[in-house]
Every structure is written in structure tokens, then in C-alpha cells.
Homo-oligomer: A and B are copies of this chain.
């Protein structure tokens, strides 16, 4: 792909290439990150132990790493909700929440091509597509 035209970014600034797919995958292209985004976006989860309790059983070290990366990339923000020990509540930023169409596309593909995957109620999907 050709380098982007926006000022302030040269091809050399990109990890791999100026391709928007490659750069997005550099942030969320792994088996776990989008599951955390899913939990924040669709299941209202906020706390570390809630992500931990999801059925995929994300390993604790991976969860900590992915939350840190998401925060550093500006997709997630955390605020302390408790002191001693300090605990954080996580939330998607608008940039992170804007991944919804990616998640909806993954849901649709999974439902169409992997037999037996969980199908969200049609009404819920319609609502999420509209928002």
C-alpha cells in the first residue's frame, strides 16, 4: 500500500506499513484484546475481576498486559474506585467504543460460519447496529 498523505505521519512512523488494517491489528490483532473490548461494550464489565471471570478465562498476566496496552493506545481509560488497595474501573474511550462495527462483523461471521456459536437476540443486534 502507498504511504498515507496526512501531515505528520511518514511511512517510517508505522510499525509495519501505512495499511489501516495492519495498524489496527497492531493494536487489537490478537486472541484476547477484542474480548476485553466485547466485555466493556456489550456486557457492561468494568473491573479487573469481571474480565477475569469471563468464560474464556483470560490469564491474569495477559489481562493486565492488554489493559495496559489498550490504555496506552487511548482505547480504554481507568479511574480509581477504591483506595488501599487502589482498584480501577475501566471504560472504553470513544475511540475504543468505535470498534463496535468490527465486533459486530466478527459476531456475524462467527454465527454464519461456526456452527453452534452463541447468537445474540436479533433485537439486541439491531439496536447495537443503530447506536
Chain B nearest CB, measured from A72 CB (Å) = 14
Quick one: given A24-B110, A31-B25, are A2 and B102 in contact (CB under 8 Å)? no
Among candidates B4, B17, B118, residue contacting A4 with C-beta atoms closer than 8 Å = B118
A60 part of interface (Cβ distance < 8 Å) = no
How many chain copies does the complex carry?
Answer: 2
Among candidates B18, B29, B95, B118, residue contacting A18 with C-beta atoms closer than 8 Å = B118
Interface size class of A (residues with CB under 8 A): 35 or more
24 pairs, A vs B, C-beta closer than 8 Å: A3-B116, A5-B116, A6-B116, A9-B115, A14-B117, A16-B57, A19-B56, A19-B110, A19-B117, A20-B114, A20-B118, A21-B106, A21-B107, A21-B110, A22-B31, A22-B56, A23-B114, A23-B117, A24-B114, A25-B106, A30-B30, A98-B109, A102-B102, A104-B105
* A residues apposed to B, CB below 8 Å: 1-6, 8-10, 13-14, 16-26, 29-31, 34-35, 38, 54-57, 95, 98-99, 101-119
